[in-house]
Amino acid sequence: MTFIEFKKLLLDAEITLPKFSKLIKVSEKNIQAYKKKGEVPNTIAVIITSFVTMHQMGVDYRSIIETLELKAKTKKGAGFAKKEKNPILKVS
């Protein structure tokens, strides 16, 4: 699915990109990055298509997704650890 098709489906589902990203716990920045690539991953395409279908059937998909209590992914690994700030400067 192209990014343009994705944006049209957001309108059909009556949800904004920021609200969509918050609902599925994916950063808006990550979704916006697909604009450069020109297409969205299959999983995002399936999600938005499902949202549109549920919306057209009168199903409140937002409350269904919220019951899943999704958690946002956090970056792990080298370079992503929180660094302690040392407020005391050593003077030689």
**Percent of the residues in the chain that have a pLDDT greater than 70, as a whole number:** 83
CA distance 24 to 26: 6
Query: What pLDDT score was predicted for residue 79?
Result: 63
From residue 49, give the alpha-carbon distance in Å to each of 11, 31, 46, 83, 87.
11, 16, 5, 41, 51
For 21-42, how does the pLDDT look when each residue is reduced to its tens digit (9 = 90+)? 999 999 999 999 999 999 999 9
Name the residue ranges covered by the structural domains of the chain: 1-92
pLDDT at 75: 74
| Global confidence as pTM | 0.77
Is the distance from CB of 25 to CB of 72 less than 8 angstroms?
A: yes
